[in-house]
């Protein structure tokens, strides 16, 4: 569950809940160059998605789940 923060990468694990959105937002504000690793992510709440859409960090790896990835790519991949 949740997130692991490394120097300039945040690894999202399993399910990222709605309460985490603020943490993610704050961390990304402090680390403008950060990348996001979604390879272990099974789902993230829409609030987290909004953070990613608004701040547009680089996505280092996409989730395994094709449905989730398709939706995320529809918003974040360009």
Partner 1 sequence: MPKTILVVDDAATMVMSLKASLEIAGFKVETANDGVQAIDKLKSGVKPDLIITDINMPNMGGIEFIGKARALPGMRFIPILALTTESQQAKRDEAKKLGATGWLLKPTSGSDLVKVIKQVLPGA
Partner 2 sequence: MNPLLEQFLSESRDAIQSIGEKLLQLETAPNDEALMGELFRLVHTLKGNSGLFELPEMIRVLHAAEDLMDTVRAGEASYSQDLADQLLEAMDFVSAVLDEIQQAGTDSLPADAERSAAALDLAGSLKQLKPEKAQPETLTSTNPATDTATESATEAAEAANDADQDLALAQVPEAVRMHLFERMLAGETFFWICYQPEEGCFYKGEDPLFQIIQLPTLAWRALSAREPWPAAEALDAYRCLLRFECITAMDREGLLEHFRYVPDQVQIRPIALDDLPIPSGAEHDAVPVADYLQSAMASLHQGDLPSLIQSSKVLLELTAPELRIASAMRWLLLLLETQPEDQRLAAALLQRIRQQEDPAATSMPPTATSANAATGVSAMPQPESIAIDEHLTGILQTQAEILALDDHPDWLPGRLHAVAASLRAAFRCLGQEALLAPLEQALEQALEQTHPQPLRAWLEVNGAPYLASAANAMAALESQTASPAPDDATSLDSSPEVVTASTPADAAASAQPPARKFGRRLEDSYAAPSSIKVDQTKIDTMMNLIGEMIVAKNALPYLAARAEKVFGVRDLAREIKAQYSTIHRIADEMQDAIMQIRLLPVSFVFQRFPRLVRDTANKLGKEVHLVMEGESTEADKNVIESLADPLVHIIRNSLDHGLETADERRAAGKPPTGQLSIRARSESDRVVIEIADDGRGIDPDTIRRKAYEKGIIDEQALERLSDQEAVNLVFAAGFSTAAKVSDLSGRGVGMDVVRNAVAQVNGSIDLKSEFGKGTRLRLSLPLSMAVSNVMIIQSAGQRFGVSMDAVAETVRVPEANIQLIKQQKTTVLRGRVMPLMALNDLLGLDQPQVANDDREFAVLVVRLEHDFLGILVDDCLETVDIILKPLAGFLGSIKGYAGSALLGDGSVLLVINPRGLL
- Distance in angstroms (rounded) separating the CA atoms of residues 55 and 11: 16
Binding site for partner 2 (CB under 8 A): 18-25, 28-29, 43-51, 53-55, 67-68, 70-71, 74-75
- Distance in angstroms (rounded) separating the CA atoms of residues 14 and 43: 6
Using CB under 8 A as the binding rule, whether residue 25 contacts partner 1 is answered as no
How close are the terminal C-alpha atoms of the chain, in Å? 28
- Distance in angstroms (rounded) separating the CA atoms of residues 12 and 63: 9
Using CB under 8 A as the binding rule, whether residue 18 contacts partner 1 is answered as yes
Residue 48: contacted member of partner 2, partner 1, none (CB under 5 to 8 Å, by partner type)? partner 2
Closer Cβ to partner 2, 47 or 61, answer by number: 47
């Amino acid at each position: 569950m949740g997130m692991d923060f490394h120097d300039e990468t945040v690894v999202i694990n399993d399910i990222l809940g709605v309460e985490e959105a603020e943490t993610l937002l704050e961390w990304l504000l402090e680390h403008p160059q950060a990348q996001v690793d979604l390879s272990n992510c099974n789902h993230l709440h829409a609030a987290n998605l909004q953070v990613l859409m608004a701040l547009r960090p680089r996505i280092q790896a996409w989730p395994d789940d094709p449905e989730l990835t398709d939706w995320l790519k529809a918003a974040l991949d360009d």
